[in-house]
């Protein structure tokens, strides 16, 4: 089987947990399947300051990003700016024309800004601090052409959107399953000690508070 290259898109104020739940899970999966490759891409190559001060180095910028099979757009507080950043949106559109694009958490709102979610079903983070509109509510309000739903992830073929925060692990495992096989995903889940269900993206039970504005 040819290798699969996952491109992780980062920007200032991305949540570190999104990096761990995507690149970190892929890193563990590579112990099982050497055909998994990862690359980190930012608007420009160099240091990226994540939320609360953690810094990482992106080896690639948008102009010299390597070819990949999957582009993963992460979430973070700067998503409103990134969802209007035309070089970023054009990069996403160009990638989506030839390969698979996935988002985790509020990365879906950047993806929505590119137009690739128009007419599709999508999800994003469904909880927020009390008194604050949730990302899912904002997507429903600001992108009426997108059919929003509460789910761990939504697979629309070439477009996959994932739910909030730790649900990025589910999205990453689903992508591993799709591109590298269910056995690789299941073994990855086992070694990271994560209770993953390969049966689909729906929640197994309703949340304890039906309101979107419940505390996470």
pLDDT value of residue 51: 97
pLDDT value of residue 42: 98
Examine the pLDDT at 214 and tell me if it is beyond 50: no
pLDDT digits (tens, 9 = 90+) for 86-138: 999 999 999 999 999 999 999 999 999 999 999 999 999 998 778 888 999 99
Contacts of 127 (CB under 8 A, 6+ apart): 134, 164, 212, 213, 214, 215, 216
pLDDT value of residue 132: 85
The domain 4-191: what is its CATH number?
3.40.50.880
Examine the pLDDT at 212 and tell me if it is beyond 60: no
pLDDT digits (tens, 9 = 90+) for 61-77: 999 999 999 999 999 99
pLDDT value of residue 204: 57
Examine the pLDDT at 216 and tell me if it is beyond 70: no
Examine the pLDDT at 213 and tell me if it is beyond 70: no
Write down the pTM of the prediction: 0.92
């Amino acid at each position: 089987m040819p290798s699969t290259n996952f491109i992780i898109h980062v920007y200032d104020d991305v949540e570190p947990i999104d990096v761990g739940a995507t690149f970190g899970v892929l890193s563990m999966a590579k112990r099982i399947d050497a055909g998994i490759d990862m690359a980190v891409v930012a608007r420009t190559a160099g240091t990226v300051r994540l939320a609360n001060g953690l810094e990482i180095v992106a080896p690639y910028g948008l102009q010299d990003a390597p070819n990949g099979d999957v582009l993963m757009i992460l979430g973070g507080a700067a998503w409103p700016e990134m969802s209007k950043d035309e070089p970023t949106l054009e990069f996403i559109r160009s990638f989506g024309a030839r390969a698979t694009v996935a988002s985790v958490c509020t990365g879906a709102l950047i993806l929505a800004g590119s137009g690739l979610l128009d007419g599709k079903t999508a999800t994003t983070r469904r909880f927020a601090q009390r008194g604050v509109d949730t990302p899912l509510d904002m997507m429903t309000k600001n992108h009426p052409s997108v059919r929003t739903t509460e789910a761990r992830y939504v697979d629309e073929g070439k477009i996959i959107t994932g739910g909030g925060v730790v649900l990025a692990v589910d999205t990453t495992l689903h992508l591993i399953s799709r591109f590298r096989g269910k056995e690789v995903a299941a073994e990855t889940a086992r070694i990271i000690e994560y209770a993953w269900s390969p049966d689909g993206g729906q929640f197994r039970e309703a949340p304890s508070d039906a309101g979107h504005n419940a505390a996470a």
